[in-house]
Amino acid sequence: MKEIIDNLKNGIIKSNPVLILLLGLCPTLAVSTSIDNAFGMTAAVLFVLISSNVIVSLIRNYTPQRVRIPVFIVIIATLVTIVDLTMQAFLPSLSKSLGIFIPLIVVNCIILGRAEAFASKNKVPNAIMDAVGMGIGFGIAITIISFLRQILGTGNLSVFGNEIFSIPGLSENPMPIFILPMGAFLVISLLLATLRYSGVIKSG
């Protein structure tokens, strides 16, 4: 039991894929322009990560070593295509704003990384907990980044069309630089620096 909880906590805190391992930065930087995108991306990544970890873990004893990477890629690509088609069918507006970054989950290093480093060597329950932990870790990171970018870039916070609050002064004169790609780099670097400095992340 303790082992399973450790697997879960590992992804969220100790080896958070974005904030510690610095994996999967491409979607994190690119789609974190609004909280809606962050939630949509997290849901997609979580689904693909859990399913791929389960499948890879189930077939780990039968997969020949030499073709394991192609096998993992085929599995991940299939799952991603399923997510992409389902999103296009039922959530067209979200699918439009996430755009190319849904198909690009195929090459997201978090997913292949967990399949190769963890799921192919561990039992199914552990693999599920690892995927959930990593997925939540990714979700927390991308949510923090998009929260900061949306607040600074537009001056107000709205989630799925409901305005939650707006900062007087900033909403009239927002700083659109934080919505632009450059803002993503500023936010993530300042965030990492703050976490390092405050000791939340141990360097090393």
**Which residues of the chain form contacts with other proteins (CB under 8 A)?**
62-64, 66-67, 70-71, 74-75, 77-78, 81-82, 85-86, 88-90, 92, 96, 153, 176, 179-180
Closer residue to other proteins in complex, CB, 63/166:
63
Q: How far is CA 88 from CA 35, 45, 100, 104, in A?
A: 19, 16, 12, 15
Minimum distance of other proteins from residue 62's CB (angstroms): 7
Cα(71)–Cα(69) distance, rounded to whole angstroms? 5
Pick 89 or 164: Cβ nearer other proteins: 89
Find out whether 171 and 154 touch, Cβ atoms under 8 Å: yes
Compare residues 71 and 195 and give the one whose CB is closer to other proteins. 71
Contact 101, 27 (CB under 8 A): yes
Q: Considering beta carbons, is residue 27 or 183 the nearer one to other proteins?
A: 183
Strands 156-159 and 162-166: antiparallel
Helices 109-117 + 124-154 axis angle, to 10: 160
Please state the closest distance from residue 54 (CB atom) to other proteins, in A. Answer: 14
State the nearest-atom distance from the C-beta of 51 to other proteins, in Å.
11
Angstrom CA distances, 156 to 41, 159, 174, stand at 21, 10, 9
| Smallest distance from other proteins to CB 96, Å | 8
Q: How far is the CB of 13 from other proteins (least distance, A)?
A: 34
In the complex with other proteins, the residue whose CB is nearer, 92 or 125, is: 92
